């Protein structure tokens, strides 16, 4: 049997993680990515939190990578928008995550790709066709620089093309994105050379455990997240309830107009403590994520479109960001997929490997997606489980506040991997 080829659609973190894992299983890999070049680090993207299992997996693919900071503490606080005073709702000193910048992680994943992986930058995926006789697939892409189309043939197609996946829509047309009821403002504040500025002195006073802690500040029917990133950066998010915005194209991210940013800054002054409001005001180029997820799949239909097509990352399980699951689920998808391909490597097609991959991953991600949905609604003060009223941060009991902790996430301590020491 000759060496097999996997075509990965999508060169973001999920796609590159799949490329590492599938190449580690002995396959050649071709990645199709419409972006013209890999992320340069620095200002690309925003922050993310990595759990211990993902960090252990990344260490296999990126030896010596240390561009993270500890998130040892998960701290939920209540903010009184009138007095601006904060009080602790729930604290967990055993959180054990790491903070990273999306651009840094993407760059290092790309730099560490093994020789068996080829990334075709500037190639926009258009379609695929199954080769029924051979059991493989042909993916067609447009070369954005020239406008030409090219075909890439493989034994396996891995759809890592994000929450709006066109591949998923082809064989799961009834699986729709579900608007959460709120959007998230996001920004990364670069304080390189500004550590002694009034802004940073104030923010370190108001948030003294930055660099070791992820802060969740809850006000009435809204909440914000703040943590430090490597490279003298602060990552913040702020979620606001409201009707679903109108999006154009396939992205769930919106560029903010000047008027939108001005309203956001005024609202920050009203809701948050002066130190956080100032940080928000001074952040360059904040943007808006419209928050979606999708209902988990039942046992059938599945993630596999035939014998040689499979979903991974947000393409398989769009999720809200609560619980910091999206990147972690993508990494564990890749790890499980790679291991299953190793286990069933003697089979003529990857069908049995894909079946085991789904059996390992579907129950985990279903539970985590639904819990992330619930956690977001609690923190936004939206009704949960048919209740008439949502969580009210102003009157919440200490017992009720325990639900806010990240460790309430199913499989918080680790997920099954189909992995006995392989990839």
Q: How many angstroms separate the CA atoms of 205 and 77, rounded?
A: 15
Residues forming beta bridges with residue 238, ordered by sequence position: 185, 224
Banded model confidence at residue 388, pLDDT cuts 50, 70, 90 = confident
The answer on 32 and 109 residing in a single domain is yes
The reply to whether 302 falls in a domain is yes
Which tens digit of pLDDT belongs to each residue from 279-297?
999 999 999 999 999 999 8
What is the arithmetic mean of pLDDT over 146-154? 97
One domain for residues 14 and 121: yes
**Residue 90 and residue 123 share a domain:** no
Q: Do residues 35 and 110 lie in contact, with contact meaning Cβ atoms separated by under 8 Å? A: no
Q: What is the DSSP letter of 388?
A: S
pLDDT one-digit tens code per residue, 9-51: 999 999 999 999 999 999 999 999 999 988 765 555 689 999 9
Residue 308 domain-assigned (yes or no) = yes
Residue with tokens 């060169």: 11
N-term to C-term CA, the chain: 21
421 — pLDDT class (breaks 50, 70, 90): very low
* Residue 271 and residue 222 in contact, taking contact as beta carbons nearer than 8 Å: yes
Choosing from 263, 291, 319, the residue where a domain stops is 291
Same domain, 146 and 219: no
Res 66: pLDDT: 86
Q: Which of 43, 20, 46 is nearest to 31 (CA)?
A: 20
Say whether both 247 and 345 belong to one domain: no
Per the prediction, the chain carries an average pLDDT of 93
**Shared-domain flag, residues 229 and 95:** yes
244 or 255: which leads in pLDDT: 244
In a domain, 199, yes or no: yes
Number of compact structural domains in the chain: 2
| Structural domain includes residue 340 | yes
The whole-angstrom separation of Cα 336 and Cα 354 is 10
Residues 245 and 130 reside in one and the same domain: no
DSSP string, 16-61: HHHHHHHHHTT-EEEEEE-SSS---STTSS-EEEE-HHHHHHHHHH
Tell me whether residue 272 is exposed, middle or buried, using C-beta atoms within 10 angstroms of its C-beta: 0 to 12, 13 to 18, 19 or more.
Answer: buried
Q: In terms of domains, do 227 and 142 share one?
A: no
Q: What is the structure's pLDDT at 227?
A: 98
Classify residue 383: in a domain, yes or no: yes
Residue 2 has pLDDT above 80, yes or no: no
**Whole-Å CA distances, 23 to 4, 50, 64, 334, 344:** 10, 22, 20, 11, 15
Q: What's residue 253's pLDDT? A: 83
Q: Judge whether 318 and 333 are in contact, CB under 8 Å.
A: no
CATH number of the domain within which 239 lies: 3.30.9.60
Tens digit of each residue's pLDDT (9 = 90 or more) over 58-88: 999 999 988 899 999 999 999 999 999 999 9
Q: Tell me the residue range of the domain where 129 lies.
A: 5-48+104-176+294-388
On whether both 168 and 201 belong to a single domain, the answer is no
Domain assignment present for residue 216? The answer is yes
Tokens of 385: 């489980």
Q: Which of 258, 275, 291 is the last residue of a domain?
A: 291
% the chain with pLDDT above 70: 96
Predicted local distance difference test score (pLDDT) of residue 386: 83
Residue 303 lies in a domain: yes
**Residues 320-344: pLDDT tens digits?**
999 999 999 999 999 999 999 999 9
Residues 235 and 194 grouped into a single domain: yes
CB atoms within 10 A of CB 402: 14
Rounded Cα–Cα distance for residues 282 and 200 (Å): 11
CA gap 10, 166 in Å, rounded: 11
Q: Which is nearest to 98 in space by CA: 289, 324, 416, 329?
A: 324
Q: Is residue 419 part of a domain?
A: no
**pLDDT > 70? residue 299:** no
Q: Are residues 310 and 360 in the same domain?
A: yes
Q: In terms of DSSP H, where are the helices of 217-350? A: 258-271, 274-282, 326-343
Q: Is the pLDDT of residue 219 over 80?
A: yes
When mean pLDDT is compared across 36-40, 304-308, 354-358, the lowest value belongs to 304-308
Domain ends where: 291, 326, 359?
291
The whole-number pLDDT of residue 10 equals 98
Q: What is the mean pLDDT of residues 115-127?
A: 98
Q: 150: which residues sit within 8 A by CB, 6+ positions away?
A: 123, 140, 141, 143
Report the CATH number at residue 13. Answer: 3.50.50.60
Same domain membership, residue 139 and residue 194 = no
d(CA 374, CA 404): 10
For 159-209, write each residue's pLDDT tens digit. 999 999 999 999 899 899 999 999 999 999 999 999 999 999 999 999 999
């Amino acid at each position: 049997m000759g060496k097999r080829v996997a075509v990965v659609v999508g060169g973001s973190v999920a796609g590159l993680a799949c490329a590492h894992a599938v190449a580690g299983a002995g396959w050649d890999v071709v990645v199709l990515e419409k972006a013209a070049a890999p992320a340069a680090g620095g200002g690309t993207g925003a922050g993310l939190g990595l759990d211990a299992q993902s960090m252990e997996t990344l260490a296999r693919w990126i030896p010596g990578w240390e561009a993270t900071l500890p998130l040892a503490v998960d701290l939920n606080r209540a903010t009184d928008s009138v007095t601006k005073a904060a009080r602790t709702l729930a604290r967990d000193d055993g959180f054990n995550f790491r903070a990273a910048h999306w651009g840094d992680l993407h760059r290092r994943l790309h730099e560490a790709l093994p020789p068996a992986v080829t990334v075709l930058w500037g190639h926009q995926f258009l379609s695929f066709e199954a080769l029924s006789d051979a059991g493989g697939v042909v993916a067609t892409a447009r070369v954005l620089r020239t406008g030409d189309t090219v075909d890439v043939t493989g034994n396996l197609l891995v759809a890592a093309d994000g929450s709006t996946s066109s591949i998923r829509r082809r064989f799961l047309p009834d699986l729709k994105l579900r608007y959460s009821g709120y959007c998230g403002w996001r920004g990364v504040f670069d304080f390189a050379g500004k550590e002694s500025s009034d802004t940073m002195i104030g923010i370190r006073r108001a948030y003294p455990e930055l660099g070791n802690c992820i802060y969740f500040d809850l006000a009435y029917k809204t909440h914000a997240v703040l943590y430090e990133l490597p490279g003298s950066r602060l990552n913040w998010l702020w979620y606001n309830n409201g009707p679903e915005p109108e999006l154009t194209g396939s992205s769930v991210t919106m560029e903010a107009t000047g008027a939108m940013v001005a309203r956001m800054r005024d609202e920050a002054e009203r809701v948050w403590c002066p130190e956080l409001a100032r940080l928000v005001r001074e952040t360059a180029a904040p943007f808006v994520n419209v928050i979606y997820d999708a209902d988990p799949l039942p046992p059938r239909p599945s993630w596999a479109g035939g014998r040689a097509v499979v979903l991974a990352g947000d393409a398989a399980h769009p999720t809200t960001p609560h619980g910091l699951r999206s990147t972690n689920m993508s990494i564990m998808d890749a790890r499980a997929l790679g291991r299953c391909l190793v286990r069933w490597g003697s089979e003529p097609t990857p069908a049995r490997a894909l079946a085991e991959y789904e059996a390992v991953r579907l129950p985990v991600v279903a539970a985590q997606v639904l819990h992330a949905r619930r956690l977001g609604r609690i923190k936004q003060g939206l009704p949960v489980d048919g209740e008439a009223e949502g969580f009210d941060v102003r009157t919440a009991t200490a017992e009720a506040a325990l639900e806010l902790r990240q460790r309430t996430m199913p499989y918080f301590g680790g997920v099954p991997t189909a992995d006995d020491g392989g990839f």
